Chains A and B, each alone.
Chain A
Amino acid sequence: MHQATDETDGVSRFIFDRKHFAPENHRVKPRALEPGHADNMTSVYRTGGLQEGDIWQLSIAYVEPDRGKPTLARADLRVSAITRLNLRVIADNTPPRHANIADWPTDRSEAMLRAIQLAATAILVVRLSG
């Protein structure tokens, strides 16, 4: 059963591409948040109540195996900021704590704009190496 997340919850988008963030000015790039070409959704994980190490562990356990790359950073987003843009977070818990940002506009330029607006609210967390 799919379920919506709480407005006060937080979600994280794990980042694997160096071009998707700018650590020098603490920025998440909009392309890191754009929906996938195949499903028009953005894969995220619900991270409310988790410690830092537990958040990274979600990516290590469930995302890195598919990506085949180490996690470089993550974008932390408030669900309330997502819903303000008329997007929706739908939790499917497959794998645990997984959710999707859905309801992206089908108009591609409008979806690009939403991603830009969403990135402006994101907090970049860079993964410390070692």
Chain B
Amino acid sequence: MTLIADRLTRTAVGFNPLDRAVSPDARVLRRVSQAAAGDNNSITIAHQRDEVVRALLLALGEAVEENWDGYGAAAVNPRAVSLALRFLSMLPPEISMPEIAVDSYGDIALDWDYAPRRITSVRISADGTLYYASLLGHSTMHGSEVFSEMIPRSVMGAIKRVVAPSYR
């Protein structure tokens, strides 16, 4: 797994030793690399980029094949990875980095998880849909939005309410 993660990271930052590889893992890595490269221009927080890419791609390491969770999960979708990179690059600097993982749909899960009742989860789907759910005390929010030019206000509101300074 460490080897896969290392390959993923090096691939994402531009070094691609896998062009002739034919394994399922390698094909996924190549698609992830190509998808990520397509969005490089939109990544504006340069000093965080490698760290973000590394965290994101480490999360993918165990999800490159169907049924990676033993419960029928879909393999991670490279398009969702690309969109997640773009989403993370658009976060304001005062927003801390979320926990990054892959969910059973093969989408990217971003969790701002500070306590059992102080959590917002966002899922980035390959078709550009953002699903979000948030619990703060007994106050709940959930919904879905289309991710296009910017992070939708409702999604940003769900994130900001759990990372607000008054709750730190």
In the bound complex, residues from chain B placing their C-beta under 8 Å from that of A130 are none
The tally of residues in A whose CB lies under 8 Å from a CB in B reads 28
Q: Is B69 a contact of A17 with CB atoms below 8 Å?
A: yes
Selected interface stretch from B8-16, B30-38, B89-97, B111-119 = B111-119
Q: With A19-B101, A119-B116, A120-B117 in contact, do A112 and B70 touch (Cβ < 8 Å)?
A: no
A-chain residues with CB within 8 Å of residue B87 when the two chains form the complex:
none
- Which of A31, A39, A116 touches B103 (beta carbons < 8 Å)? A31
Selected contact of A66 from candidates B70, B104, B106, B143, CB within 8 Å: B70
**In the complex, what residues of A have CB within 8 A of residue B99's CB?**
19
Interface residues on B, range: 20 to 34
Per-position 1/0 for B102-132, Cβ under 8 A of A? 0111100101010011010101000000011
A37 with B142: in contact, given A30-B119, A30-B121 (CB under 8 Å)?
no
Contact of A108 with B69 at beta-carbon distance under 8 Å, contacts A19-B99, A116-B121 already known: no
Residues of A within 8 Å of B74, CB to CB, are: 37
Query: CA–CA, A30 to B135, complex, Å?
Result: 11
Q: By the criterion CB–CB under 8 Å, are A108 and B123 in contact?
A: yes
Is B73's CB within 8 Å of the partner chain A? yes
A49 at the interface (CB under 8 A from B): no
Specify which chain B residues have a CB less than 8 angstroms from the CB of A112 in the assembled complex: 121, 123, 131-133, 142
User: Please, how many angstroms separate the alpha-carbon atoms of A89 and B140 in the complex?
Assistant: 23
Q: Which of A31, A36, A117, A120 has the most CB of B within 10 A?
A: A31
> Lowest 5 A-B CB distances belong to which pairs?
A38-B72, A112-B133, A113-B133, A120-B116, A37-B104
The 6 listed contacts between A and B (C-beta, < 8 Å) are A16-B70, A17-B62, A29-B111, A30-B119, A37-B106, A109-B142
